[in-house]
Amino acid sequence: MRQIDALIAGGGSGTPSARLGDIFNPSTGQVQARVGFSSSVDLDRAAAAARAAQPAWAATNPQRRARVMFRFRELLEVHMQELAELLASEHGKVVADAKGDLLRGLEVIEFSCGIAHALKGEYTQGAGPGIDVYSMRQPIGVVAGITPFNFPAMIPMWMFGPAIATGNAFILKPSERDPSVPVRLAELMLEAGLPAGILQVVHGDKEMVDAILDHPDIGAVSFVGSSDIAHYVYNRGVANGKRVQAMGGAKNHGIVMPDADLDQVVNDLTGAAFGSAGERCMALPVVVPVGEDTANRLREKLIPAIAALRVGVSTDPDAHYGPVVNAAHKARVEGWIQTGVDEGAELVVDGRGLILQGHEQGFFVGPTLFDHVTTGMRAYREEIFGPVLQIVRAPDFETALELPSKHQYGNGVAIFTRNGHAAREFAARVNVGMVGINVPIPVPVAYHSFGGWKRSGFGDHNQYGMEGVRFWTKVKTVTQRWPDGGAGDSAFIIPTMA
């Protein structure tokens, strides 16, 4: 059976793995490969290789570093189909979604190609008598990223693109559930000309996470995952003197005003709530219609739209979404559906028990719709991370505004309306980090930045964009004064072409 190993010091795998993790094909429910968990000795080797390679990489001028990114970008496009199929086979998302995963990561690589402009410092001439002051951005050194299963291509590129382009050496620990694409990305970076030791991959579970957070050579750590683990990563990393950004979970709301185009809203909701089986922190699992009439009309349109959704294997080109990642997650999602029922929400569409002929062991969950969900329900307060949409009815705009503002998570939110004043007021007042106005999944483009508030994000910097540049670099400020030897000083010689 195929085994996925670490990529250390340009291609050498780690020590023989004492522990192995199963990699499933979610469409069939069968184990298709195994990943060898790296040891602390492997991490020490990777850190040593990174420490040895990083100074020369940092001394390489930014344009030359960018050329590696340009070549990597070209290789990504050449290998797009291969990578998408590999990603889909381990995660379960359909191939079209897998390509979207890759393309959103590619956009951050493209931003990183122009990062030389973002590294320019500030300069003040004459800050004092004969004194000039200037600043420069320098890389941190050896840094690391810990990434989740739901975007095994995009989120690693969100991290290692800006980190490497700014002159750092990067150690990646991807999810043990779907590690093949992250390793393949690192191989393509080497093919693009990246020196050995600048991007390495180690594998594992909590033991490796703790080893990264405790390692004295690693100066900064970026994390994306659940909020409880994000909080843990942030606290442990900061206690060890590291710079940490830790992005957590979400419970994003979509506010539907009475004047919204409901046909467009329903189209947006079916993609935002159920696409990628709901396994994304920017999914839209809660819809908040304002007014009973709006709620009733929206529900009437949602039911047939949900019935028309096709759930299929990851290779089905006609499927709207595929299976969830593994059996444990399928059981977790279905457990939350039962919790919603037990708490008194109205189960309008039940996605449990979905079986595809010929794929009876696959990890499928059908689209599920709840109505009359209330804020006191645990199924509302917690992140389900599956194809479950909840309707929370609000009598007015102010109540609708309070729902996402008071929720423990503050990742993303959307409002659907034709009223510019309502949209402007909502965007200004809502206590959430990313806002969409008639945009259901407001993930910012690569030259802005991604990050939520409250329990959706820990740390002072967001992902990618200029926030990413600031996270992966440190500012050095120089104050200088040159002694005046006089115009006749023989040491002052104007060079000539002679």
Q: Which two tokens stand for residue 28?
A: 């069939």
Rounded-to-10 torsion of CA 479, 484, 490, 494: 60
Half-sphere exposure of 490 (CA within 13 A, CB side): 0
Distance from C-alpha of 93 to C-alpha of 25, rounded to nearest angstrom: 11
Name the nearest CA neighbour of 30 among 270, 286, 360, 346: 360
Half-sphere exposure of 221 (CA within 13 A, CB side): 33
* Cβ atoms of 68 and 38 closer than 8 Å: no
Q: Which two tokens stand for residue 478?
A: 């120089």
Q: Which of 49, 94, 224, 281 is catalytic?
A: 281
- 423-447 core/surface letters (b: 16 or more CB in 10 A; e: else): beebeeebebbbbbeeebbbbbebe
User: If DSSP codes are grouped into helix, strand and coil, which group holds residue 218?
Assistant: coil
Neighbours of 110 (CB within 10 A): 15
Residue with tokens 């919603």: 340
Hey, what amino acid is at 195? P
Rounded-to-10 torsion of CA 173, 177, 181, 187: 40
Distance from C-alpha of 313 to C-alpha of 469, rounded to nearest angstrom: 39
Beta bridge partners of 143: 170, 220
Q: Please give the radius of gyration of the chain, using alpha carbons only, rounded to the nearest integer.
A: 25
Q: Which helix (H) or strand (E) holds 214?
A: helix 206-214
Neighbours of 418 (CB within 10 A): 12
Q: Phi/psi at 222 (nearest 5 deg)? A: -110, 140
Beta bridge partners of 199: 170
Q: Report CA-CA distances (Å) from 166 to 136, 139, 182, 355, 470.
A: 12, 6, 20, 48, 10
With 0-12 / 13-18 / 19 or more C-beta atoms within 10 angstroms meaning exposed / middle / buried, residue 386 is: buried
Name the nearest CA neighbour of 116 among 190, 71, 65: 65
281 is a catalytic site residue: yes
Hey, what amino acid is at 442? P
For the chain, the 3-state helix, strand and coil shares in percent, each to the nearest 5, are: 40, 20, 40
Distance from C-alpha of 404 to C-alpha of 389, rounded to nearest angstrom: 15
Residues belonging to the active site: 281
